[in-house]
Amino acid sequence: MNIKEFAAKPKLIELKITDPALLEKYGEEITFFTYDVVGMSTYFDFFDARQKGQFDNLGKMMKQMILDDKGKPALAEDEDLPIDIAAAAVNLLGEVLGKSQSKTSTQKSGRQRK
């Protein structure tokens, strides 16, 4: 299979924070947008900052990755989220990025991946 068949333009997707404690506290789901695929440097920088607790870097990356429905940053440079929402957003972004590795391919022979 030609590697070009795996190439795709990133798509803007809606994410919903549905944590029960946050639903109770804020009264509804919290939504934001991000791209379903990011570049390699962003991917590794995000997970490296998360693993090493580099919160300054993680905060900067969140401002780049938490978008509005037009694909523009949802937070201004001088704005921050409440820590409970920020933590939930980081976890949700980690789930989405972790799943983006093989989402454009379907195995055609042998055992199917789960």
Domain extent, residue 88, equals 10-102
Residue 39, exposed/middle/buried by CB under 10 A (0-12, 13-18, 19+)?
A: exposed
Q: Is residue 45 part of a domain?
A: yes
pLDDT in the model for residue 100: 62
Does residue 108 register a pLDDT over 80? no
Q: Is residue 41 part of a domain?
A: yes
Please state, in angstroms and rounded to a whole number, the distance separating the CA atoms of residues 114 and 112: 6
pLDDT in tens, 16-52: 999 999 999 999 999 999 998 888 888 888 888 888 8
Number of domains in the chain: 1
Q: Is residue 1 part of a domain?
A: no
Q: Is residue 86 part of a domain?
A: yes
